[in-house]
């Protein structure tokens, strides 16, 4: 299909490169429908292997017979590969001698128009083009967009004339007759949309409609057409209206397959009971509440009550706790962990980075005071000599142990002993905690912080270990997420929301700063100095570490533009420039992910203690770092960070009772600066989450890194299909209540595997 210019679609599809079947099904090899040679091209360039793969390759839009493609030139960019239907406005051919007296070269030049887009198209040594595509004819044109003297051109063009059916002399292999409503497919430079249309037509001619996997009563209740009709109408609808119910049906199938997988995971998690952890009136939890120096918010009390009730039972807690930056999730989680410790069991807090794990360990110990120093003398946990400490641990006290991969051998050995013996009631760690050689005396609760940095498999590692019980699970995210994402990415979890901030918190004054204007940037550094002079501290964040070392995990997240500008600013280089320039004389320190664990911990301790004025860092401080005295943060190359990252970084300040500022600095003008300005205007985390979903691709939202699932959904949009997602969730729950492994609905089981893959459908084999 992608070979020489003369290999037109009809000729390619009629080649004898394979055995054609009289009837094909969704699982039939594609070669049985369109021939081996054509199937080989689709397999190579579009990863299509079966008839189902082809029929699930949906049109991205439709054109009617009487309309030209309404292409807006403002949506195009040099280098784009386009497929357009255009009218030939002018056409001429001429012969030219090659330079150096070589053979003659025939050049056919056309001007074609597709709506407001006018293109210059040039064919070499194809003299028949003037005859087969005369002025006034319409054709498909495909190629890479180029520009010369402000005029759009189509490089390496391919074309197929659109047949009117009125001219008996029209060459059959150089034209294609379009249906009344023409599908325009996502194509490549090797496979054009008209070739896909020809393949789909030939396939549908021999296609046997599948037995519908969705029960008839479900289809009737939700107004869904049959699957076979949907597949035909999505590709070759008689009218534009006919395509809409087809798209709804295919979207609904995807929503149902995803929700069955999520609810199946949920049921599977409930097959083993959780250890009961009832509340006590005089335990650690009660003692902690009594020593709190602040009043819990209404949301913290409400969610705390939900968690306490669930932990007291044997039905596994399986809950997502989301709240804005600074809403107090850590306190809620700690109260839940203490209830588990009161019941004689252990709790684990899993963090995505060592810096965050160490910060959590310090925060928990500070909040617990003597309640967190069980069986140990004061100062064992690295308290500095000049730090005030509370002596004499409470007799009810537990021990908080930090367990990360970079611990020294002696420390790690002691930590493992404390965990395995049960001396440590609370274990804080990174993925090192998941390793099989880490044994627990009696694990009752697993808390996962910043769930979006872990996959489903990772979070389930600890829960799936052999034993009579499985620990309760509390998943936390400081990035509020829209309801549709909660239902699709975290649909196997119950949802609790902290929707208010503690008293005294003030909004963070945020500014988008054009870094290419020296006076504006100079004012930013003046503001940093002013805050330090007032006794406060500052962060400066860069997207890269520097020193030409290998990229770290924290360097791989940003990058909104993807252009060929200068390399991202590096922490090490910026720190040196600031120390000898606008921030000379201030106490600067550097923090990034490649520093040894002890050095990272030392830097954060000194910053927390006020011994450092400005911390120049990568996104290693993105979450969990809590220094109330920090009142200003400057994010350099801010356009390279995602929306949620910027919101998280902004949340590193404003954690005390002093007004705070955030400066998002970018040298890039245009859409990138407009995006930063929108971020600067939004303070509510849930509104920020909606903006994040608006700007990001669906594949990012449903990526395997976040959820352990395939990167894209073909039809389902988490932005547009809340109704379908909600309906499908209820249907999935009803179906699985009666048939938890879908043993009586094998075609639905196939639907699940088709949507989430075998890995996402493991519940089908477990129950």
pLDDT in tens, 303-314: 999 999 999 999
Helix, strand, coil content of the chain in percent (nearest 5):
40, 20, 40
Q: What is the mean pLDDT of the chain?
A: 82
For position 548, what pLDDT does the model report?
Answer: 58
User: Residue 17 pLDDT more than 70?
Assistant: no
For position 551, what pLDDT does the model report?
Answer: 43
More confident residue, 551 or 752: 752
For position 560, what pLDDT does the model report?
Answer: 42
More confident residue, 252 or 393: 252
pLDDT in tens, 54-98: 998 989 888 775 555 566 677 777 887 777 888 899 988 888 766
User: Residue 623 pLDDT more than 60?
Assistant: yes
User: Residue 8 pLDDT more than 50?
Assistant: no
How many whole angstroms separate alpha carbon 417 and alpha carbon 411? 10
How many whole angstroms separate alpha carbon 183 and alpha carbon 63? 7
For position 715, what pLDDT does the model report?
Answer: 82
- What angle, 0 to 180 degrees and rounded to 10, lies between the N-to-C axes of helices 671-681 and 643-650? 40
pLDDT in tens, 181-217: 888 888 787 888 888 999 999 999 999 999 999 999 9
Beta carbons within 8 Å of 625's beta carbon, 6+ residues apart:
355, 356, 359, 604, 652
For position 406, what pLDDT does the model report?
Answer: 81
For position 578, what pLDDT does the model report?
Answer: 96
For position 558, what pLDDT does the model report?
Answer: 42
Dihedral over Cα of 464, 470, 471, 475: its sign: positive
Sorting pLDDT into bands at 50, 70 and 90, what band is 711?
very low
Kindly state the average pLDDT of the residues 253-267.
88
More confident residue, 767 or 336: 336
Is residue 156 a contact partner of residue 143, using CB atoms and an 8 Å limit?
yes
For position 7, what pLDDT does the model report?
Answer: 42
Q: What is the CATH number of domain 63-184?
A: 2.40.50.140
Sorting pLDDT into bands at 50, 70 and 90, what band is 488?
low
- What angle, 0 to 180 degrees and rounded to 10, lies between the N-to-C axes of helices 329-342 and 284-291? 150
pLDDT in tens, 131-142: 888 998 888 888
Express as a percent the part of the chain with pLDDT over 70. Answer: 80
CATH 3.40.50.300 occupies which residues in the chain?
A: 284-498, 509-682
How many whole angstroms separate alpha carbon 276 and alpha carbon 343? 8
Return the CATH class of domain 509-682: alpha beta
User: Residue 625 pLDDT more than 80?
Assistant: no
For position 305, what pLDDT does the model report?
Answer: 95
How many whole angstroms separate alpha carbon 427 and alpha carbon 407? 14
Express as a percent the part of the chain with pLDDT over 90. Answer: 36
Is residue 559 a contact partner of residue 653, using CB atoms and an 8 Å limit?
no
Helix or strand holding residue 472 (H, E): strand 472-477
For position 664, what pLDDT does the model report?
Answer: 95
How many whole angstroms separate alpha carbon 456 and alpha carbon 767? 18
For position 503, what pLDDT does the model report?
Answer: 66
Kindly state the average pLDDT of the residues 686-703.
62
More confident residue, 478 or 654: 654
The first and second tokens of residue 193, run together, are: 């949309």
User: Residue 550 pLDDT more than 70?
Assistant: no
Residue 463's nearest CA partner among 269, 652, 628 is: 269
- Looking at 455-464, 472-481, 574-583, 621-630, which range is the least confident one? 455-464
Kindly state the average pLDDT of the residues 488-502.
74
For position 63, what pLDDT does the model report?
Answer: 79
How many whole angstroms separate alpha carbon 293 and alpha carbon 291? 6
Kindly state the average pLDDT of the residues 665-693.
82
Is residue 541 a contact partner of residue 617, using CB atoms and an 8 Å limit?
yes
For position 722, what pLDDT does the model report?
Answer: 83
**DSSP one-letter string for 522-582:** HHHHHHHHHHHHTT-EEEEE-SB--TT-PPPGGGSS--SS--S-SPPPBHHHHHHHHHHTT
User: Residue 553 pLDDT more than 60?
Assistant: no
* CATH number belonging to the domain at 284-498, selected among 3.40.50.300, 3.40.50.20, 3.30.1490.190, 3.30.465.10: 3.40.50.300
């Amino acid at each position: 299909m992608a070979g020489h210019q003369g290999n037109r679609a009809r000729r390619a599809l009629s080649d004898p490169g394979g055995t054609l079947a009289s009837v094909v099904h969704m699982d039939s090899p594609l070669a049985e429908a369109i021939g081996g040679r054509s199937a080989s091209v689709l397999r190579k360039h579009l990863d299509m292997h079966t008839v189902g793969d082809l029929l699930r390759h949906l049109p991205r839009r439709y054109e009617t017979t009487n309309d030209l493609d309404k292409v807006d030139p403002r949506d195009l960019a040099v280098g784009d590969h386009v497929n357009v239907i255009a009218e030939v406005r002018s056409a001429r051919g001429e012969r030219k001698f090659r330079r150096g007296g070589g053979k003659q070269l025939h050049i056919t030049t056309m001007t074609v128009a597709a709506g407001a887009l006018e293109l210059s198209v040039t064919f070499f040594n194809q003299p028949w083009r003037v005859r087969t595509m005369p002025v006034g004819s319409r054709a498909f044109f495909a190629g890479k967009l180029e520009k010369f003297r402000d005029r759009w051109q189509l490089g390496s063009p391919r074309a197929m004339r659109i047949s009117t059916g009125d001219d008996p002399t029209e060459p059959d292999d150089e034209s294609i007759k379009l249906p009344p409503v023409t599908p325009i497919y996502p194509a490549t430079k090797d496979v054009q949309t008209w070739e896909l249309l020809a393949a789909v037509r030939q396939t549908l001619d021999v296609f046997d409609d599948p037995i519908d996997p969705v029960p008839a009563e479900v289809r009737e209740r939700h107004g869904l057409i049959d699957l076979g009709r949907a597949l035909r109408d999505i590709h070759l609808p008689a009218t534009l209206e006919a395509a809409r119910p087809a798209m709804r049906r295919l979207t609904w199938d995807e929503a149902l397959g995803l929700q069955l997988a999520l609810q199946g995971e949920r049921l599977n998690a409930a097959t083993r009971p959780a250890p009961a952890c009832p509340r006590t009136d005089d335990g650690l939890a009660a003692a902690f509440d009594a020593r709190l120096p602040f009043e819990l918010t209404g949301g913290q009390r409400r969610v705390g009550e939900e968690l306490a009730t669930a932990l007291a039972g044997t039905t596994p807690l399986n809950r997502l706790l989301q709240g804005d930056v600074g809403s107090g999730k850590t306190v809620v989680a700690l109260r839940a962990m203490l209830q588990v410790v009161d019941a004689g069991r252990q709790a684990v807090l899993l963090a995505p980075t060592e810096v965050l794990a160490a910060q959590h360990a310090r925060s928990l110990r500070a909040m617990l005071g003597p309640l967190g120093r069980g069986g140990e003398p004061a100062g064992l946990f690295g308290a500095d000599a000049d730090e005030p400490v509370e002596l004499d641990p409470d007799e009810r006290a537990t021990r908080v142990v930090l367990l990360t991969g970079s611990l020294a051998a002696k420390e790690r050995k002691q930590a493992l002993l404390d965990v395995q013996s049960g001396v440590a009631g609370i274990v804080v760690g990174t993925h090192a905690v998941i390793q099989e050689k880490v044994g627990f005396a009696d694990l009752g609760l697993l808390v996962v912080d910043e769930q979006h940095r872990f996959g489903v498999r990772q979070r389930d590692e600890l829960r799936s270990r052999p034993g009579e019980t499985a620990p309760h699970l509390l998943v936390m995210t400081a990035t509020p997420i829209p309801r549709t994402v909660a239902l699709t990415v975290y649909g196997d979890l119950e949802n609790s929301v902290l929707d208010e901030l503690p008293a005294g918190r003030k909004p963070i004054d945020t500014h988008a700063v054009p870094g290419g204007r020296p006076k504006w940037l100079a004012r930013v550094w003046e503001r940093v100095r002013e805050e330090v002079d007032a006794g406060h501290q500052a962060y400066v964040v860069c997207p890269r570490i520097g020193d030409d070392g290998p990229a770290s995990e924290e360097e791989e997240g940003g990058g909104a533009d993807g252009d060929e500008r200068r390399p991202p600013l590096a922490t090490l280089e910026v720190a040196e420039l600031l120390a000898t320039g606008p921030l000379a004389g201030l106490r600067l320190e550097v923090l990034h992910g490649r520093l040894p664990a002890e050095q990272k911990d030392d830097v954060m301790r000194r910053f927390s203690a006020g011994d450092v004025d400005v911390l120049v860092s990568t996104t290693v401080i993105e979450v969990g770092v809590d220094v109330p005295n920090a009142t200003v943060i400057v994010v350099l190359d801010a356009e390279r960070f995602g929306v949620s990252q910027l919101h998280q970084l902004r949340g590193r300040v404003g954690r005390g009772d002093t007004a705070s500022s955030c400066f998002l600095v970018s040298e890039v003008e245009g859409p990138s600066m407009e995006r930063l300005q929108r971020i600067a205007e939004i303070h509510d985390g849930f509104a920020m989450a909606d903006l994040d979903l608006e700007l990001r691709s669906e594949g990012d939202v449903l990526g395997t890194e976040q959820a352990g699932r395939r990167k894209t959904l073909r039809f389902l949009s988490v932005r547009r299909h809340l109704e379908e997602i909600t309906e499908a969730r209820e249907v999935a729950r009803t179906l699985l209540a009666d048939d938890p492994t879908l043993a009586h609905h094998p075609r639905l089981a196939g639907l699940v595997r088709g949507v989430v893959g075998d890995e996402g459908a493991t519940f089908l084999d477990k129950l």
